[in-house]
Amino acid sequence: MFVVIFFLLGLCFGFALRMPGALFAFLIPLGLVLAASDRSAAAIVIGFAVTAIGIMAGILLANRGDAQRHPVGGA
């Protein structure tokens, strides 16, 4: 379940802020890691990787939307 939440977190930050502002999405998993009593290395790596994938997907969606709204070539 946390994988879906981290993906959506990255997707929202990537779509809304793009780079470098989208990197703030990593603060939430980092805060959860620091507050957790059981720090599983696999869960930490998966959380950061899924957040990064979500950020990249959000940026790609935002760029695609911009390209459709503002086509190059004036057509």
Domain count, the chain: 1
Domain hosting residue 61, numbered range: 2-69
Is 74 within the bounds of a domain?
no
Report the range out of 41-45, 52-56, 71-75 with the highest average pLDDT: 52-56
Q: Evaluate whether 14 touches 55 at the Cβ level (below 8 Å).
A: yes
Query: Is 59 a member of any domain?
Result: yes
pLDDT at 74: 55
Determine contact, residues 53/10, Cβ cutoff 8 Å. yes
pTM of this prediction?
Answer: 0.77
Enter the tokens of residue 31: 């805060």
Mean pLDDT score of the chain, rounded to an integer? 82
- Residue 17 located in a structural domain: yes
Domain assignment of residue 57, yes or no: yes
